[in-house]
Amino acid sequence: MQIHETIAGLRAARARAGPGKRLALVPTMGNLHDGHVALMTQARAHADQVIATIFVNRLQFRPGEDFEKYPRSFAADCERLAAAGVEHLFAPDETEMYPQPQTYHIEPPPEQAGILDGEFRPGHFRGVATVVMKLFQIAQPDIALFGKKDYQQLMVICNMVREFNLPIEIVGGETVRAADGLALSSRNGYLSAVERTEAPRLFRVLTKVIDAVRGGARDFPLLEQGAISELQGNGWVPDYVALRKKLDLQLPSAHDSGLVVLAAARLGSTRLIDNLEV
């Protein structure tokens, strides 16, 4: 695997790949787990060469969030990527990505980026969309893959690509879970042993919600409140549990199908997110 720390280095490698080669991009912030590896494997199936990126993007963190302590495990990440058959790793530092403060941004519309996670992390999706647009311009991939665990992020990126007519196919990778249901996340490492035992409850309460919807329940606020109460009763501080339309994450009416239930909740100092499609 070739490691590129500069934009010029990655672009030169891209040029060497030659015309007609299909390139897949898998952007990450590192501390890779099996969910990332599954994305790399999926990328491999779609493309001639896979470019992974590792960059902890300051723009998408709010003051007081975990930018400084975000887990960084570069050597182990490189081993995992090489074992997954990734050809190129783009791992720039901050001065390479932001040689001067970024003054131009991609501003996703509030109805997509100001709801759910965007309500609790204002500016988060602006930071994500801006760095993803930069990565797209730098790597110029044919296809890019993102995990469905970050469901709202995937929706924002799909809409950005469509509205800017970027010639990039966006593919969502299924969420990879531990045997007890906990969605794999780089932030799971923050959990204490006791919290790790409690953490799969998030998956279980979401499963209850989608089972109820599949069984014909249509009082969505009641289902959301039931899930919130169960989390609160077990020491969680939920930001939201929300049943939404899959396509645009807007509020569904009782006769809508194609739903997704999304949640974000704090367990101790760790904020976990998850979702399940109905």
- Under rule CB under 6 A, which residues in 4-33 are in contact with ligand PAF? 27-29
- Under rule CB under 6 A, which residues in 49-68 are in contact with ligand PAF? 57, 60
Among the listed residues 23, 43, 47, 131, the single contact to ligand PAF using CB under 6 A: 131
* Site track for ligand PAF across 146-165, x = CB under 6 A: x---x--x------------
* CA distances for 77 relative to 52, 54, 107, 166, angstroms: 10, 9, 31, 29
36 is known as an active-site residue: yes
- Shortest reach from residue 162's CB to ligand PAF, in Å: 17
Report the SS3 class of residue 112: helix
Both tokens assigned to 39: 């994305």
Is 275 a binding residue for ligand PAF by CB under 6 A? The answer is: no
Is 128 a binding residue for ligand PAF by CB under 6 A? The answer is: yes
- The answer to whether 234 and 201 are in contact (CB under 8 A) is yes
**Per CB under 6 A, which region of 125-133, 159-167, 214-222, 259-267 contacts ligand PAF?**
125-133
* Beta strand ranges found along 5-106 (DSSP E): 23-28, 49-54, 88-90
- The residue (of 49 and 153) whose beta carbon lies closer to ligand PAF is 153
Can you tell me the distance from the alpha carbon of 31 to that of 54, in angstroms, rounded to the nearest whole number?
9
- Shortest reach from residue 245's CB to ligand PAF, in Å: 22
**What does DSSP say about strands 270-277 and 259-267: parallel, antiparallel, or unpaired?**
antiparallel
Both tokens assigned to 42: 């999926």
